[in-house]
């Protein structure tokens, strides 16, 4: 629990956006009742909170308002997950990896869904159908024209100009 940490204790910090983990050393611990905030009166019912200052390399990182009786805390705005237990960081990292794997595994299904939606949207929009058909026809004409240029150059024995 964060309230049980003392100066010199190790705190594990997972930087979720990168991901990487660093060990920090607790510099100071302050456990207290949360200050009343009129915009969040329910916070007073959460119990004691712990404020930590943690040294990581040459930097001091403050962690304010950690639940005193918890062992982990998320800081989504900073992309950080902190814990006093390395095993909890491993669990969080595993959950992140598993979530990313689910996204990767669903790629083909979502790609097929997108293609079906595009086809349905196209069938419901006659102007877009004409536009797409014109673009397709133009690409075919360009290809045929380029082939004719190559054939004419071959017959005349000249080198075609690059466009």
pLDDT value at residue 4: 92
pLDDT tens figures, 64-87: 989 999 999 999 999 999 999 999
Residue with token string 């050393």: 25
pLDDT value at residue 36: 62
Is the per-residue pLDDT at 116 higher than 90?
yes
- Cβ partners under 8 Å of residue 20, min gap 6: 14
Q: Domain ranges in the chain? A: 2-87, 107-156
Does domain 2-87 fall under CATH 3.40.50? My reply is: no
Q: Are 68 and 31 in contact (CB under 8 A)?
A: yes
The SS3 of residue 157 is coil
pLDDT tens figures, 4-62: 999 999 999 999 999 999 999 999 999 988 766 556 555 555 688 999 999 999 999 99
Q: Outline where DSSP puts E strands in the chain.
A: 10-15, 20-32, 49-56, 59-67, 72-75, 80-83
- What the block records as the tokens of 90 is 């491993």
- What the block records as the tokens of 155 is 């017959």
Confidence class of residue 140 from pLDDT cuts 50, 70 and 90? very high
**Averaged confidence pLDDT in the chain:** 89
């Amino acid at each position: 629990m964060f309230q049980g940490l003392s100066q010199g204790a190790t705190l594990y910090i997972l930087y979720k956006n990168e991901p990487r983990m660093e060990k920090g050393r607790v510099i100071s611990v302050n456990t207290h009742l949360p200050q009343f905030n009129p915009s969040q009166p329910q916070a007073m019912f959460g119990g004691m909170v712990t404020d930590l200052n943690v040294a990581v390399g040459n930097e001091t990182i403050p962690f304010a308002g950690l639940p005193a009786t918890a062992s982990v805390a998320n800081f989504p705005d900073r992309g950080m997950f902190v814990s006093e237990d390395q095993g909890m960081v491993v669990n969080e990292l595993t959950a992140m990896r598993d979530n990313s794997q689910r996204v990767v595994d669903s790629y083909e299904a979502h790609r097929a869904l997108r293609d079906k939606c595009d086809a349905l949207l196209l069938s419901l929009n006659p102007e877009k159908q004409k536009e797409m058909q014109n673009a397709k026809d133009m690409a075919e004409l360009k290809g045929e024209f380029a082939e004719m240029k190559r054939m004419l150059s071959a017959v005349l024995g000249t080198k075609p100009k690059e466009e």
